[in-house]
Amino acid sequence: MPVQGLSLEAHLIVDNNVLSMLSQYFCDRLASKCPAGERFATFKEWMGRQLDVIRQFTPDAKLHSTTCVANEFAPAGAFFAQLKPHELEGVKGHVRSLLHQTAANSTRIAAIRGLPGVPKKLFGPGGVSDNDLSLAVRGLELATAGQPVYILTNDQGLLDSVTWLRTNTSIRAQYPQAGLTQGLHSLTYFEGVHRNCKIQTPHMRDLLHYALAQHYGRLELRGTQKGESIMYQLLQINENLMQSIEIKLAAKGATP
C-alpha cells in the first residue's frame, strides 16, 4: 500500500524559524537529559541529525537557504546564555554551515513588490520581509531545473506569498516552472517524514505538542477563546496523528 499524502522528494529551502523551532525544542525538552559537559556537542550533533533526516529526500543532498536568512539564526534562551560569546558564535556557525547558502537577489525582490495587483497587505509595509522574499525567489530559481521545490517555513506570510507568486501570470512568464514551487509548513513536512518511518511517533507527537504550546505561549489571543482553541487543536493533532500512524503501520504491513 503506498504511503498516502505528500511526495517528500523535492529540493528543500529551510527558513530560519524552522531552525529556531528545532533548537528551542532541544533546549526545552532534551538538553536537561544530556550530561552537563556534553550539552553543546550533543546539540550540534542533534541538529545535524534532524537536518540529515530531511536532507535524504532532496535530489541534490542540499538544504538551501539565502545568506541573509541563515544569518538570522540566533539561538536564545537560558541554555545558550550559559555560553561564552565565541562558543555561541561557534554554535551559530555550525548550524549555518549545515545549509547551502546563496546571496539574496534584491533586484528580483523589488520587482515582485512592484507587480501589478500584488496584495498590499502581504507585500506592502508590514507584510513579508525582503529576507522572506529572498527564499521565495530562490524557490522560483531552483524550480527552473524542473523538479519540485518545497520552502519549509512556519511563517504564514511567506506561505501565502509563495502561493500567490506561483500562480501569478507575470511570474509564470518569467519562471515557467513556478508552479513547482510550494510553500509548506515545516511541521507538515516533518509529519510526512514521520509517515515514511524516518521519525519515530513519540518524537513527532512531542514536537507537535511542543509547537502548539509555543504557538499559544507567544500569542495574545484577544477576543478569542484561547482555552477552547488549544483544546480543539490538541485534539485534532492527536486524531490526525492516530490516522497517520495507521497509514504508517499499514505501509509496513503491520496492524495498529
Partner 1 sequence: MTDLPGSMSDFLSEFTHSLTQPNGDAVLRRINAERLLRLLADEFVEAHQAARIRILPDNRLVGEAGADFLMQIDDYDIRLQFVDAPRGVPEFELNQLPAVQNLLEDNPSTVALVLVWTTDDLKALELSMTRIRYVLGNPDRIDSLLQQTRPLPDVLRDLVNRQVKLWEIGLEEKPHTSVQSTDMRQMFERAIAEAIDAERQRSYRHTERKMAAQNFPADEEKRLMLFVLSEALNGVPSADLENRLTRLTRRGAK
CB of 126 to partner 1, least distance (A): 13
Cβ nearer to partner 1, comparing 79 with 190: 190
Per CB under 8 A, which region of 42-50, 56-64, 86-94, 184-192 contacts partner 1? 184-192
206 and 29 Cβ atoms separated by less than 8 Å: yes
Give dist(CA 144, CA 177) in Å, integer: 6
The grid cell for 244 is 497517520
x/- track of binding to partner 1 for residues 97-136 (CB under 8 A): ----------------------x-xx--------------
151 and 136 Cβ atoms separated by less than 8 Å: yes
Per CB under 8 A, which region of 28-36, 55-63, 84-92, 221-229 contacts partner 1? 221-229
Backbone angles phi, psi at 122, to 5 degrees: -90, -45
Query: Position 149: which residue type?
Result: V
The grid cell for 125 is 509595509
The answer to the question of residue 197 lying near partner 1 (CB under 8 A) is no
87 and 40 Cβ atoms separated by less than 8 Å: yes
- Which listed residue (159, 171, 193, 207) binds partner 1 by CB under 8 A? 159
Per the document, the length of the chain is 256
- Which listed residue (32, 82, 106, 240) binds partner 1 by CB under 8 A? 240
| Dihedral angle over CA of 131, 137, 142, 147, nearest 10 | 110
Residue with cell string 541554555: 79
Residues from 4 through 63 that contact partner 1 (CB under 8 A) = 4-7
Give dist(CA 254, CA 146) in Å, integer: 36
Per CB under 8 A, which region of 43-51, 58-66, 103-111, 159-167 contacts partner 1? 159-167
The residues binding partner 1 (CB under 8 A) are: 4-7, 119, 121-122, 154-156, 159-160, 163-164, 166-167, 179, 182-185, 187-188, 191-192, 211-212, 215-216, 219, 221, 224, 229, 233, 236-237, 240, 243-244, 247
